Structure 1
Amino acid sequence: MFDDLLAEANNDPRMIQSHCERQRVGRNDRLKTQMLSRELQGVKTDEFLLRALQQPNYQDPRNNLCVWARPTRAVGGMIEKVQQELRALAPGIWTTPSTCLHMTVLEIVHTLTPEEVAACVATLRPCLKEMADWPLKHRTRLIKPMLNIDDGAVALSFVPAAGECRDSVSDDQYTYLHLRNDLSRMSCENGVEVVARYATTSSHMTVARFVSNKDHGDKRAMESWIKTLEALNIWLKDNYHPKIGQPNKVDVDCEWYIGAERPLEIRQGSLWYGGGETIETGTAY
């Protein structure tokens, strides 16, 4: 998925991080302008989620096959604090339950029938355990959490580490993009072409979704919402980013090793909101 980007960056973690940072900051700037414009009428409500909340027997027809990473305890605690602030300003927002929090490391196939997903699983069965255990061989570290500004959801994104608070940048030579690239290659080499909805460098978890416009129905409410997200990003930077010039100022709150505490999971089914089932689990380290 990222062969060209990694080659252009000479596999240098610093260049890779810089690219990912530019992408997410630029996207936030674009979406902020869009959401504060007169043309935008509120936020985009998630109709599938709304049906699921209103109809107990509703079955989401979109079936996926994905590789998930679950947050560590420290990252989960940080998300809980963020969600509390979001609910305080927008009580009508839906926040992702802690048991459903996940980052999609790789979306292999999406929006298929259960039978089509089952066929892909059968094809990949011989390599699923190796995929789930890949972080045991190649460890990748994420840092610098930041909230994404979006008119459809709120996500917490990270960037690949590049030697921050470590002896050498070489400690972070294998980045999140390398991990995604390798898992994609393994899937393709074992018979299932990766058909993700979009190829993005973003490493993010959705922490909230919009199910109504009652909290964002006018320009003043939207301005207040954006200001809250920006204030939370300052708080995240002050409390959860590695401190420049303080090499010993790092702990589990500042970083996330993928597969640490909780291993990668291969999951199938209606996965959009944390549902579905795990068909293979890796080994945590």
Structure 2
Amino acid sequence: MTEYRLDEEFAQAIVQLPSEFMNMAEPPANDVHALREVINFQYTEMGKLAPPAPDGVNREDVSIPVGDGVTLEARWYTKWDARPGSAVVYAHGGGQVAGTLDHYDRRMRVYVTETSVPILSVGYRVAPEGKGQQLSEDVFAGVLWLNEHADRLGIDRARIAVMGDSGGGGLAAAAAVLGRDRGIPIAQQILIYAMLDDTVDTASEALAPFLAWTAPMNATSWNARSGGPVSETTSPARLIDARGLAAAYVEVGDLDLMRDESIAYAMKLSAADVPLELHVHPGTPHAYEWLDENAGVTQRSLENRYRVLRSL
């Protein structure tokens, strides 16, 4: 019987991680604050493994009003004076309960450096402070902000994409649905090991030893977000009619809890004639580019993402 195997470069990278990183106990079920502490600690430690942030990227801190007196923080990244006309709204990872704009600052700078495509990184309200569809609406508010300021920023409103990884990937998918339903053009949805299905609370025994993001952690996150009815704009896997959605780039590793839901969502898009590019990378766990940015599979994945961004 063929067994799962961790990519050798990732196996070597894991050995280099601090002992306190590797020996962290999994948070108790439904203790969302403990889970947030773990995630944010991991982001901080993995961020220390990354090369320095590239030069030549400007950052403008902006505020996005979303009603009820609430204003979101966001960051607008541009490469010097490059104005390709396209733009991206990015939703950071963190299981929809953690992660910050600071954690993703370097990553945004790398994307902009490599592609010249400007990015709006949105500080959406994470659960449990944010509930239900509110998180998706926060990310979509970034799309509306770019539309409102398109002339000043030199953006073609028909060339705005949504992108996110992990929890943010699910929110990017939901924002694409909101855009379709509200008549706001979305040029592309770029979904990186996206958190799409609120019903996933188990994993196979064979896959379990490799999971950086486990089924209990997933359940804790979805439970923290619960508030009001669950729909396709909170859990995109519940989408019934995918016709008319933006073209999709879907990427996931085969050692990821999100693997099956990513493939299922991609197949749903394909069946509705949504243009699709799907990658399932063998030997790769959740958030693998944070683990080893120089690994061969990471470099191939990043080049694919850069190519899609440049094509906007």
Compute the TM-score of the two structures, normalised by the length of structure 2.
0.23
RCO greater where, 1 or 2, for CA within 8 Å and sep 6 or more? 1
Compute the TM-score of the two structures, normalised by the length of structure 1.
0.24
